[in-house]
Chains A and B, each alone.
Chain A
Amino acid sequence: NAGVTQTPKFRVLKTGQSMTLLCAQDMNHEYMYWYRQDPGMGLRLIHYSVGEGTTAKGEVPDGYNVSRLKKQNFLLGLESAAPSQTSVYFCASSSGTRLVATFGSGTRLTVV
């Protein structure tokens, strides 16, 4: 039972490059979330999804796009990376009945 798996674990991008972070969950959860974690800021919600084919904006959505084509996968895209997007990104999922979110182990992204 893998839970929530994030790939890649580490990445260095140059300013202006694009990339996609992949989140996969095997718990059949309806809800999925992307957070970013920055020192002294806690976790801030970027985008989330309440089901296959749906997405919605969180607190800090600018510069990011997401897609949920399959229930088990939630992709986070950066079209043109900026140094301000240097952060640790966490994916999480939860079911509609249980309140507890399960988190992945994170992706550490550096934009130079």
Chain B
Amino acid sequence: AQSVTQLGSHVSVSEGALVLLRCNYSSSVPPYLFWYVQYPNQGLQLLLKYTTGATLVKGINGFEAEFKKSETSFHLTKPSAHMSDAAEYFCAVRVPYGNNRLAFGKGNQVVVIP
């Protein structure tokens, strides 16, 4: 079964500092991986995705993630946090042969400290 692990439910980062959110997955086949962001009282919005090809993926709002097969990881980073980055972030893996179903991690609530 596919699963996603996100450690640390709450992450505090100072404005201007590096944002690093860790995601590890298990998958029986080459994975398709996603990061979604949820702003308060809103639905989920795609930040970026990895399917095939280049392992460093750039997304919206200055975020990027790197797929590392040997580490089964897909960590999300942003060099400099902005107050508007305060949100909840979810890592997800596509379930193989699962009709595009996604398995989600438990999420990271990011707080940006001025």
Contact = CB atoms under 8 A, between A and B. Distances in A.
Contacts of B90: 42-43
* Residue among B32, B94, B101, B107 with the highest chain A CB neighbour number at 10 A: B101
Tell me if A's interface is mostly helix, strand, loop or mixed: strand
A41 B45 contact: no
A53 to B, nearest CB: 15
A74 interface: no
Given A42-B104, A99-B49, A104 B43 contact: yes
A42 B44 contact: no
Tell me if B's interface is mostly helix, strand, loop or mixed: loop
B102 interface: yes
A104 to B, nearest CB: 5
B39 to A, nearest CB: 10
A48 B34 CA distance: 19
A2 B85 CA distance: 25
B106 interface: yes
Interface string B42-60: 1111100101000000000
Interface of A: 4, 31, 33, 35, 40-45, 48, 50, 56, 58, 90, 92, 94, 96, 99-101, 103-106
